[in-house]
Amino acid sequence: MGLVMGTFSMQSNKQDRTYRKDKIDDDFELSIVCHRPEGLDKLEAQTNFSKQELQVLYRGFKNECPSGVVNEDTFKQIYAQFFPHGDASTYAHYLFNAFDSAHSGSIKFEGFIMALSTLLRGSVREKLTWTFNLYDINRDGYINKEEMTDIVSAIYDMMGKYTYPALKTDTPKQHVDAFFQKMDKNRDGVVTLDEFILSCQEVNFLYIYTIIIVPPTYSCLLL
């Protein structure tokens, strides 16, 4: 009996050492691949969310992205769920780049929550500035007609062929021509941030430019 117990004890000790080693290895691996966000107190001070709201949002973020960061492929997969009848990949690409302000190829919770705070609870100017940066694809401080066409076309692709009324092939171009005519105040072929904000405030374009961005972005955290 003593021999059996001694053998069991040796095996248990060996298994325990193996378990501890595996756990150390796992913890080391997690420390490399997982990103832990800044303290909630700091994020609460930097955003328009309460600590309780940040906790809920972080749980949703971690549920979708256990590593604590979102790459572009994952972002596209999440976003596509909200537009099953269209192709959201191109628009999601542009939106991902807008969230990835550090150009790191991934979105951390801090960056995501800062952008979400602006889109949901920022001032009108803050929302429009963020949206301007989305349209400014090459980030040169201006929006040209090609950039606006790329974004608007991506939006129509995302909405899909089941829109009502049915969209014509040249609809994106027609809309861009109309938008650009209103926004390019000095007719120099580009739209500045001031021109963009002024035009949106004049004709309430804020609704048009944020209604597509905000709801699916926010909802994807609550899946």
Give the CA angle between residues 23, 26, 27 to the nearest 5°.
85
- Inter-residue contact 167 to 139 (CB < 8 Å): no
H-type helices in the chain, by residue range?
2-33, 40-46, 51-64, 72-80, 89-99, 109-121, 124-135, 145-159, 171-183, 193-203, 205-211, 214-219
- Inter-residue contact 35 to 109 (CB < 8 Å): yes
Mean of the pLDDT values across residues 182-200? 93
DSSP single-letter state for residue 131: H
Bridge partners (DSSP) of residue 106 are 71
Least confident residue range of 61-75, 81-95, 195-209: 195-209
Mean of the pLDDT values across residues 193-208? 77
Q: Provide the mean pLDDT of the chain.
A: 77
| Closest C-alpha among 98, 43, 36, 42 to residue 68 | 36
Query: Who has greater pLDDT, 164 or 146?
Result: 146
The number of beta carbons lying within 10 Å of the beta carbon of residue 87 is: 16
Q: What is the pLDDT of residue 53?
A: 93
Rg (C-alpha) for the chain, rounded Å, is: 24
Q: What is the pLDDT of residues 97-146, one digit of tens each?
A: 999 988 899 999 999 999 999 988 999 899 889 999 999 999 999 999 99
